[in-house]
Structure 1
């Protein structure tokens, strides 16, 4: 099987020659220009021969064009820090406008995606990382102010979320039109330590579905649940083929998730402690255990999230060689 055939078979519930595998990281500095983002993405894929490419964007890309400022300041996962926001008062939410995705930071990410698609192996799927409208709102305001305004001025925040969702939907549709195979949609607030279920149904779900409906032509769409108490049952009906979450450390393990979500599970490797600190043999053992627990089916072996840039290549090779 080639990579595309392998993942399509897993999604369809058919037997495969082996379990697919993938992992991803941030590239501080290189993720700020189209040519360098494309270069590190392609080099990483050639070195590790993964079953799919996840476009390794920084979280700032989806709100950069609104005027935030940011910098890399040594974050262990390689992401950038927000130095300034653009939402301060309740009325700032209703001032947000729909962005032209062919200009600015959105525009050059489309350019980078074009470069990668033109040079990658044709049988290697590529999915585009996106942060859902609720996460984007937090990047614009900060978590604390977003939650305060969401509860005090729900109509204003809802109007802004609709605008953010429209821009996101247009962007991912353009990515699919360019040749991307799907979206990796990160939903950071879909966890009970962040919001109540009703809050997420009101403020998170509508934007999520607008983005996912825009990528309906994609065949490899992934929902990422970020947090230790994910709202998996609440979102299990989302129109995606695969689910990624912090399966090793959260309160939902692989077996439990398999009974909740009908599609493919992406997990098995703990990324914050095991992947940076374990021996290659221990990483491989964790991977083999995940494969055995799932009976080699309905699984793409991955970390639960982005891993630290301090992870050794020997551990990454061990993870790849597990399958």
Structure 2
């Protein structure tokens, strides 16, 4: 099997010669542009030779000029559908094109992104959430502009040679989490926009990462996705086996991202062995979420060498 064959077989739950693996960290490249973003991914990929190159999202959604956060309806009303020449989109697309040209067609490339609600909150700050909820119609118009922009971006990523989208959402967080969304907030501001983005990803492999802990999967049973992801070692979250049983889909994970930087080699090898022993197919081996950038190289080599 080549890497694309292995990737597609894992997603489809078909027999594998070995389980594909990947791992990712953030590189703080937002102000450095797409070419530097690509260069840092290439250094990391070439060092560890992952089966799948997962491109992290270190860029933020482009707010209108002089809008630094969301303080009220006046800020919301300034949002319009964004052009792909905006910095976020142009630089990320430049990164994708550089990576595809560098590696050719054989290496699967998966891009990371977020739903429209998270795109806003991620840049505006958590304190903006009550403001968004208090101005329903203005918030919906803003989310429509962001959602339309993100759907266009999904098509542009596909055209740039992207194989899959790792779609991170916070709408599965349960009460007690600062990111918890009650049923009304979810139904009003999240669900439709999330599904629209997933539909715009058609033709690429669709991963959904239900971010946070503890999370519930109830809201995602009818989402058009191919692979499920949670931080499967975090308290209150389903294990990978439970995730696969609940969704009937392929899963990605198996390594505790909250502890990997402090593990002994034997601890990491034991986690890898336990994960591989419990999944005969339909698995991509990885941490449950982003690892600390300071994770020691000798541990990453253990994870990267698993399939060799």
TM-score, L = length of structure 1: 0.88
> Of the two structures, which has the highest relative contact order with CA contacts closer than 8 Å and spacing of 6 or more?
2
- The answer (yes or no) to whether the contact 1:62–1:136 under 8 Å persists in 2 is yes
1:226 aligns with 2:208: no
Structure 2 stretches lacking a partner, 5+ long: none
SS at match of 1:33: helix
Deviation for aligned residue 1:66: 3.5
d(CA) in 1 for partners of 2:120, 2:110: 23
Deviation for aligned residue 1:18: 0.9
Q: What is residue 191 of structure 1 aligned with on the other side?
A: 173
1:152 corresponds to which of 134, 144, 147:
134
d(CA) in 1 for partners of 2:131, 2:218: 27
1:293 corresponds to which of 241, 260, 278:
278
- Write out aligned runs for 1:143-292 (5 A): 143-146=126-129, 148-192=130-174, 193=177, 194-218=180-204, 220-251=205-236, 252-273=238-259, 275-292=260-277
For these two proteins, the number of residue pairs brought into alignment is 302
TM-score, L = length of structure 2: 0.92
Deviation for aligned residue 1:250: 4.0
Structure 1 stretches lacking a partner, 5+ long: 69-83
SS at match of 2:6: helix
Q: What is residue 321 of structure 1 aligned with on the other side?
A: 305
| CA shift in 2, pair 1:186/1:98, >3 Å | same
1:104 aligns with 2:87: yes
| CA shift in 2, pair 1:167/1:250, >3 Å | farther
Q: What is residue 11 of structure 2 aligned with on the other side?
A: 11
Q: CA RMSD in A?
A: 1.8
SS at match of 1:122: helix
| CA shift in 2, pair 1:221/1:250, >3 Å | farther
- The answer (yes or no) to whether the contact 2:11–2:283 under 8 Å persists in 1 is no
| CA shift in 2, pair 1:231/1:39, >3 Å | same
- The answer (yes or no) to whether the contact 2:26–2:290 under 8 Å persists in 1 is yes
- The answer (yes or no) to whether the contact 1:135–1:189 under 8 Å persists in 2 is no
